[in-house]
Chain A
Amino acid sequence: MSQAVGYSTTPPSSSSRFSLQSITSSSSTTHTPNPPSLYGSSQNPSSSTINNANVNPNRRESARSSIIPSQQGSSSLQQQLFGSVGGGGGAGSASNQQQYLNILDRPLNKTKAFEVALSSWAFMFSEIVSYSQSRVDSVTDLEKRLSSLGYEVGQRILSLILLRNTQTSNLKDPKREHRLIPILQFVHTQIYKFIFGKPADGLERSSEAEDEYMLISNESPLTQFISVPKDMSDLSCEAFTAGLVEGVLDGLDLPARVTAHWVGDQYPDTPQRTVILIKLDGKVMDREEALGK
């Protein structure tokens, strides 16, 4: 009970709902007996949780790290939500907890068995959209909001993917693409595969403008369940993906304005076809020209 008091400032319930969902999907994990914890103190039984929450300057972080339980399913909901009292304690109890690793304690380069169910994501994204919708006046503002959320995600994903690529290829000195076309291909293949499990369905260059490229997806897992009402027909919830792509491109020093457009009406076979339009900044084109072939 004291834990509940200590963590009175935990993140909103929606995020804990989401994390509960991910527990179920992370059932088979190899366990490191005392996982190197970023916020290990919150798992330490010797430090009282109340004090911990008050003393720790990074209080919100520590609360967040303990949302995901390291306890078996039999523990109470409270424990599931706020971590267990004896979490990370003796070696004996550790074997019990190996199944559910804190999201921040997981090895960064491991992806297998840490997937989240598509339904969980779909429900969460649905909430994100309706939450955003209740705080904007126009379709443009809503797209902007979704885009800015995606931007944050994109930046983080980029760092993670680059880190993993470096680790898996065992390179001493990390390298990254710096030319336009390889970067776009990187987004088309690696980023899309990481997020959606498959590469985008097409990468095209606009015939009208030299600095415009298009990422095409026939059915995005992200928004496949959403049907936009008629009075907002020019809204595309793929604005989130657009923002994500923008975040990735920006992280690779390729500033661009990225927007999403639904073109399903022109393609009867794929009614959900969406184009992510990338309009590159002028300085990118200048640099490309300077670098030459």
Chain B
Amino acid sequence: MTIYSLYIFDRHCDCVYYQDWHRTRPTRAPPPGNYKPGVHRIPNTTVHPEQNAVRESIFSKYNSNPQGQGQVERDNQNQNQNNRSSLISNTSNERERGPNRTTNTSLPKGLPFDEESKLVYGVILSLRNMVKKLSGRDEAFTSYSTSSYKLHLFDTPTNYRFVLLSDPSSDSLRFILRQLYVGPFLEYVVRNPLVKVDSRTEGIDNDQFRTAVDKHMKGLSMFN
């Protein structure tokens, strides 16, 4: 049993939050034109090494450990600084680094993040409509699975959609999504005046939320 990734979509069909754990085929950073701040912290593996060295020291650490585990440590470091400013500096860094994408040997094979999130939402939307039409009631599907993963969907009354990808053998994990909604989401997004909810240009990412989600997931029995 394991958990792969979490997506949160808002009512405008935009992905506002993304985090992943045990992905062996990680998603790639989106092209700079499609970059949306405050959604994900996907390591941009296509950075020039020299350029990287010029940057703050945390980035070398960042790159040496591109999987999820490194992120929290970095987040903890950031926490010492002003919360909001770190977010901004982080995003501006990514923006600057964007155009420097060059060939890199360790280029992951996954889709760019913007495409992937669109596909996830597209699948959810189509499957949802199909289920609705078939049953004749206003109900959503709860999960679907393939041979290698299972996708769980949780809708909030305010039309946020929480999507969790886990391994295919797991039972329904919607309760976790609900826990995330009533716990970290309410605490660090809804009650956080600095998060621009419903902005369409920015995600809801902030360090406290990310840490809380990570902690919650790692505390689950099915995490590993």
Establish whether A and B are touching in the complex (CB under 8 Å).
no
